[in-house]
């Protein structure tokens, strides 16, 4: 077969964030120049910084920028690109986008538009799978869409059933119906959601499997008729049909079942003359029966776990196949080594029904080491906005076996810093350490069913005394002159008369979890005596500075010595320990300077909001109770009042600015 090789010298990446950065990394390794596109919200984003060129594509909303097909195609042509890589999400599975690229003479790094169309419609895909004997769940995917026709089909299938949008994905337009009396109401909801999300209210019905596993097979095909698999992945750890933890290979499957699924996956891809990377997703019952669910005609979010067990770069494979080269390896040459697990790190608040979180990232740090990989599109200082997916990063761990991979990933998450917004890191750690997951007893409902336990207070959570001690002693040990640069700040390890230069008692006002704690610290020969409310106790501490705002505090409290990570920003202190995270703000600080002057005080935003009114400026004198500024959130206004008489030192935001929860708004110098 004679197929012309079309070298790819320059590629436009029709995506953003983590996936764009991932594609750029491989493109650079292959010597391919990269063109990024960016919206007004992404002007300083990492994919813009990393690409060889970056072109403004439109306003922040994705339907005015990253989803405008004609504009993206014309931008690629004007930039002199040979190809477009769609990444995943956005237009990655849009047949019209693939066709527009083809018509413009651009290489679309993905399957043909006809293959996307065939597999993008679930009803059409199921009919196609029937023709090649790929197992299907009992169900209905006919053209008749009247209420009566769907009701009759559901009765034949037998309850419980699952209503699914034929053009859907990501759990949208999907409703489970347990009882006959609920069918009419759930049908209306499924139709409405499908029409809103996909402009198509066509539905299909499947038999609902109780507690199945979600197992997928990675396939790859070229233009020469070769199609191979790169083993399987388990994606059963999901919440509301959104994957949370993924791993490869899928644990606990018999070799016979794996072989049958791999054969079916290749047959499914060949049925549509597929070219490129794709994933065939199956549901697997407890008795090891498997059923075709759908095909994802793109690279998957979870592709790194497959890369880590095979040692292959799937994005490099995409470039090679799209250029007309044959697959780099044949089936017998693909080897599986060890086990890999991936966690999706998202900006969301698990304790508020996983609502997306916005704000500025004050610290972004991932642990490094053998078998660890972090794919991300954010760095310290980046803003998390309301416009795009809340996933900030993927952390992946590889080890010789599954148990070691679990332990490595949990340990790595405990050392990960994504500070400035709420994240799901604590839940990820608890899920990895949950007994059912550890022994491989996962199914698609286990995470949702276990969530109340995962959200419960930690048995080994740090005590209030420890948190207060960490915050107070950080303030005592941290030099008041930021230019001081010592590796260790310790009152008993220095010979500079440190104790003589401080008053005998230091007074602090701390705010922790919205509660106010006046604290007194009394330096002693071998440590400190701390007092707050009716409590008093002794502890020892040493402070180590890793970077300008990142510190480690070694605290010995009640005979237990632990190392805490501290991140300082705008008079706020984030305290982290093994997945535990809390934030402290400081008000009055008396006695930290030799003359006994009063240090600055801070006022913070109680919630994410917009600054709508500002009544003071730097240098203004204010009295206690005076309104300083007004915030607005969720159509409610909140006044920030002066806690005492003083002088405005700094105003950090202007009217119209969006502020995150905990952000320092104003600095006040107290006056007598």
The residues annotated with a catalytic role in the active site are 298
DSSP string over 62-94: GGGTTT-HHHHHHHHHHHT-SEEE--SSTTTT-
Contact by Cβ (8 Å): 658, 638: no
- Which tokens in the block code for residue 45? 């984003």
Decide: 162 and 205 in contact? Cβ < 8 Å: yes
β-pair partners for 129: none
In terms of Cβ atoms closer than 10 Å to its own Cβ (0-12, 13-18, 19+), residue 595 is exposed
Nearest-angstrom CA–CA distance, 142 and 123: 7
Lookup: tokens for 266: 């290749």
Which of 29, 38, 22, 170 is closest to 85 using CA atoms?
Answer: 22
Residue 560 CB partners (closer than 8 Å, separation 6+): none
Cβ proximity of 636 and 652 under 8 Å: no
Q: How far, in Å, CA of 25 to CA of 219, rounded?
A: 22
CB burial class (10 A; 0-12, 13-18, 19+) of residue 295?
buried
Phi then psi dihedrals of residue 25, to 5 deg:
-60, -45
Using the Cα atoms of residue 389, residue 395, residue 400 and residue 405 in order, give the sign of their dihedral.
negative
368 DSSP assignment: -
Q: Copy the structure tokens of residue 595.
A: 């003359």
58/265 Cα distance (integer angstroms) = 39
Task: Indicate the burial class of 397 (C-beta count within 10 angstroms; 0-12, 13-18, 19 or more).
Answer: buried
Gap between the Cα atoms of 313 and 328, Å rounded: 10
- Which residues pair with residue 339 across a beta bridge? 399
Are 502 and 591 spatial neighbours (Cβ–Cβ below 8 Å)?
Answer: yes
User: Which residue, among 456, 464, 667, has the nearest Cα to 575 in the 3D structure?
Assistant: 464
Q: Determine phi and psi for 280, rounding to 5 degrees.
A: -100, 120
CA distance 629 to 626: 9
Instruction: Give the separation between CA 362 and CA 347, rounded to whole angstroms.
Output: 13
Angle, vertex CA 643, rays to CA 639 and CA 644, nearest 5: 135
Residue closest to 302 by CA, chosen among 257, 347, 250, 354: 250
Burial letters for 242-271: b for 16+ Cβ neighbours within 10 Å, e otherwise?
ebbbbbbbbbebeeebbebbbebbbbbbeb
Reduced to 3 states, what is the DSSP secondary structure of residue 96?
helix
CA atoms within 13 A on the CB side of 314: 28
Beta bridge partners, 574, equal 567, 583
Cα 436 from Cα 308, distance rounded (Å): 24
The answer to whether 184 and 147 are in contact (CB under 8 A) is: yes
* CA separation for the pair 494, 500 (Å, rounded): 12
* Cα 144 to the center of its chain, rounded Å: 40
């Amino acid at each position: 077969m004679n197929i012309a090789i079309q070298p790819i010298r320059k590629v436009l990446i029709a995506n953003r964030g983590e996936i764009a950065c991932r594609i750029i990394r491989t493109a650079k390794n292959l010597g391919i120049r990269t063109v990024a596109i960016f919206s007004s919200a992404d002007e300083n984003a990492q994919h813009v910084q990393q690409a060889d060129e970056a072109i403004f594509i439109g306003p922040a909303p994705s339907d005015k920028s990253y989803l405008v097909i004609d504009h993206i195609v014309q931008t690629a042509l004007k930039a002199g690109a040979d190809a477009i890589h769609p990444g995943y999400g956005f237009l990655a599975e849009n047949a019209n986008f693939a066709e527009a690229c083809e018509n413009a003479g651009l290489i679309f790094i993905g399957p043909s538009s006809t293959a996307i169309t065939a597999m993008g419609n679930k009803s059409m895909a199921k009919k196609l799978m029937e023709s090649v004997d790929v197992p299907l769940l009992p169900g209905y995917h006919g053209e008749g869409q009247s209420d009566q026709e769907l009701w009759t089909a559901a009765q034949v299938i037998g309850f419980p059933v699952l209503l699914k949008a034929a053009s859907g994905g990501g759990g949208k337009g999907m409703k489970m119906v347990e009882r006959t009396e609920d069918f009419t109401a759930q049908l209306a909801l499924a139709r409405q959601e499908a029409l809103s999300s996909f402009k198509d209210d066509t539905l299909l019905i499947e038999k609902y499997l109780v507690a199945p596993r979600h197992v997928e097979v990675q396939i790859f095909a070229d233009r020469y008729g070769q199609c191979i698999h790169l083993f399987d992945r388990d994606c059963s750890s999901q919440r509301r049909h959104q994957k949370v933890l993924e791993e490869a290979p899928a644990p606990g499957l018999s070799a016979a079942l794996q072989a049958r699924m791999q054969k079916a996956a290749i047959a499914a891809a060949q049925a549509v003359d597929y070219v490129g990377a794709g994933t065939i997703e199956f549901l697997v019952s407890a008795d090891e029966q498997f059923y075709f669910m759908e095909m994802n005609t793109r690279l998957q979010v979870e592709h790194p776990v497959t890369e880590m067990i095979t040692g292959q770069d799937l994005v490099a494979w995409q470039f090679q196949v799209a250029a007309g080269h044959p697959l780099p390896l044949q089936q017998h040459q693909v080897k599986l080594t060890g086990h890999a697990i991936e966690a999706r790190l998202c900006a969301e608040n698990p304790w508020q029904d996983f609502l997306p979180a916005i704000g500025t990232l004050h610290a972004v740090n991932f642990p490094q080491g053998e078998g660890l990989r972090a794919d991300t599109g954010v760095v310290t200082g980046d803003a998390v906005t309301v416009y795009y997916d809340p996933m900030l990063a993927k952390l992946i761990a590889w080890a010789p076996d599954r148990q070691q991979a679990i332990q490595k990933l949990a340990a790595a998450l405990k050392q990960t810093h994504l500070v400035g917004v709420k994240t799901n890191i604590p839940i990820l750690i608890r899920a990895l350490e949950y007994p059912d997951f550890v022994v491989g007893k996962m199914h698609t409902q286990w995470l949702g069913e276990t969530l109340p336990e995962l959200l419960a207070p930690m048995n080994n959570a740090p005590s209030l005394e420890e948190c207060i001690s960490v915050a107070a002693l950080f303030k005592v040990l941290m030099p008041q002159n930021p230019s001081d640069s010592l590796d260790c700040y310790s009152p008993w390890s220095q010979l500079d008369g440190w104790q003589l230069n401080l008053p005998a008692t230091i007074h602090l006002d701390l705010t922790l979890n919205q509660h106010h704690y006046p604290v007194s610290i009394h330096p002693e020969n071998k440590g400190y005596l701390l007092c707050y409310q009716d409590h008093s106790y002794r502890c020892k501490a040493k402070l180590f500075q890793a970077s300008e705002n990142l510190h480690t505090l070694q605290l010995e409290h009640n005979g237990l010595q632990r190392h805490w990570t501290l991140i300082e920003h705008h008079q706020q202190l984030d305290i982290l320990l093994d997945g535990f995270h809390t934030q402290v703000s400081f008000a009055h600080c008396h006695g930290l300077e030799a003359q006994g002057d009063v240090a600055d005080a801070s006022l913070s935003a109680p919630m994410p909001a917009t600054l709508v009114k500002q009544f003071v400026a730097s240098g203004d004198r204010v009295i206690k109770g005076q309104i300083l500024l007004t915030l607005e959130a969720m159509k409610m206004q909140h006044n920030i009042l002066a806690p005492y008489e003083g002088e405005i030192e700094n105003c950090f935001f202007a009217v119209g600015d969006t502020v995150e929860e905990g952000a320092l708004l104003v600095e006040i110098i107290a006056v007598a």
